[in-house]
Amino acid sequence: MQIHVVQAGQSLYGIAQAYGVNADEISEANQLSAPGRLVVGQTLVIPITGMYYWVQPGDSLYTIARRFGVGMSDLAASNQLSLNQPLQIGFRLYIPPGPKRKAEINAYIEPRGEVSQSLQNAAAEAAPHLTYLAPFSFRVQRDGSLEAPHFDYTDDAGKPHKVWFEDARSIQAKFTLLKELGLRGISYWKLGLPFPQNWLLIEDNFQVVKR
């Protein structure tokens, strides 16, 4: 699974060509309501097996293999390279998929009075990707910094604002941390907020435990 950040001048068709997939597949995976109008900085999940990585200064086959948790020999073979071959900056490497570890996935659902049809639909959509589904009935205040993308803007009254949000990059960062720390699983607050990329990344990273 590839996470692509839209750059200036890019179109869905051009991105699809770059990764060798159909534009409709990307649109469906990300549930794009207006596939012809991409926004610079928008993240897209590209439905491919494995991913691509562009070599950066200081990279070697060893450091890249270690970073992505794949065997150095497997990485070299996948890209028809010798183990000792130097890498040019900007060279595109294919990263084969690594093994998936098991994880328990929980999500909270917040029914208020009668459960709406949209909330029922959200629960049904999420169920295949979850170990537990837990009802929740009160709010928790959150303090401290967030590992998530953000943007700043100033309103008409001159007051500055900072807006934090989740996208495919921040979710993947959390999944990576979960694996690095050897945690049992992860929990979501809350269902009912559209985020189709999340479920694709869960399936790409983990074998969801079912109880």
pLDDT at 55: 95
Number of H helices, E strands in the chain: 7, 10
Q: What is the distance between the alpha carbons of residues 144 and 185, in angstroms, rounded to a whole number?
A: 22
The closest of 168, 161, 165 to 146, measured between CA atoms, is: 165
Task: Quote the strand ranges of the chain, DSSP E.
Answer: 2-5, 43-46, 51-54, 92-95, 101-109, 132-135, 150-154, 160-164, 185-189, 206-208
Q: Tell me the domain boundaries of the chain.
A: 2-95, 101-208
Q: Tell me: pLDDT of 144 over 50.
A: no
pLDDT at 194: 73
Say if CB 7 and CB 14 are below 8 A apart.
no
Say what the alpha-carbon torsion angle 29, 105, 173, 194 is, to the nearest 10 degrees: 40
Average pLDDT, rounded, for the chain: 84
pLDDT 10s digits, 133-142: 776 544 444 4
In the chain, the percentage of residues whose pLDDT exceeds 70 is: 87
For the ranges 16-20, 116-120, 145-149, the lowest mean pLDDT is seen at 145-149
E strand or H helix at 171: helix 168-181
Read off the amino acid at residue 103. Answer: A
List b or e across 17-41, with b for residues whose CB sees 16 or more CB atoms inside 10 angstroms: eebebebeebbebbebeebeebeee
- Segment 125-151 mean pLDDT: 64
Q: What is the distance between the alpha carbons of residues 187 and 105, in angstroms, rounded to a whole number?
A: 6
| Residue 171: Cβ-neighbour burial (10 angstroms; 0-12, 13-18, 19+) | buried
pLDDT at 147: 52
pLDDT at 73: 93
In the chain, the percentage of residues whose pLDDT exceeds 90 is: 37
Structure-model confidence comparison of residues 156 and 189, the more confident one: 156
- Rounded (5°) CA angle 62-67-72: 35
In CATH terms, is domain 2-95 a member of 3.30.230.70?
no
pLDDT 10s digits, 1-10: 899 999 999 9
pLDDT 10s digits, 9-49: 999 999 999 998 999 999 999 999 888 899 999 999 999 99
pLDDT band at 63 (very low <50, low <70, confident <90, very high): very high
Structure-model confidence comparison of residues 175 and 139, the more confident one: 175
pLDDT at 180: 80
Q: What is the distance between the alpha carbons of residues 173 and 169, in angstroms, rounded to a whole number?
A: 6
Q: What is the distance between the alpha carbons of residues 18 and 16, in angstroms, rounded to a whole number?
A: 5
What the block records as the tokens of 71 is: 């065997």
pLDDT band at 126 (very low <50, low <70, confident <90, very high): confident
pLDDT 10s digits, 81-116: 999 888 999 999 999 988 888 989 888 776 666 667
